[in-house]
């Protein structure tokens, strides 16, 4: 985990990581996840993932076809 918080958001374009974000509060991270999906929903090859770095759990992914 980095110093930014427990919840980690990853944006990938064409399989390459292009943006990361970390938040301490899950509700803030989930809101950022929804916004990122909205912003990139029409971008080919976009993938958004939200992780709990403390537990190692994947909380959400978009699209969820993998």
Distance CA 39, CA 62 (A): 12
Q: pTM, whole model, 2 decimals?
A: 0.89
Neighbours of 35 (CB within 10 A): 12
Span 39-51, average pLDDT:
97
> Residue 4: which pLDDT band, with cuts at 50, 70 and 90?
confident
Which pLDDT value is given to residue 64? 85
Give 53's DSSP letter.
Answer: T
pLDDT, tens digit, 9 for 90 and up, residues 9-34: 999 999 999 999 999 999 999 999 99
């Amino acid at each position: 985990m980095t110093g930014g918080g427990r919840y980690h958001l990853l944006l990938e374009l064409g399989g390459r990581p292009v943006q990361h974000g970390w938040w301490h509060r899950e509700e803030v991270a989930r809101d950022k996840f929804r916004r990122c999906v909205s912003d990139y929903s029409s971008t080919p090859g976009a993938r958004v993932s939200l992780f709990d770095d403390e537990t190692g759990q994947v909380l959400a992914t978009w699209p969820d076809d993998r």
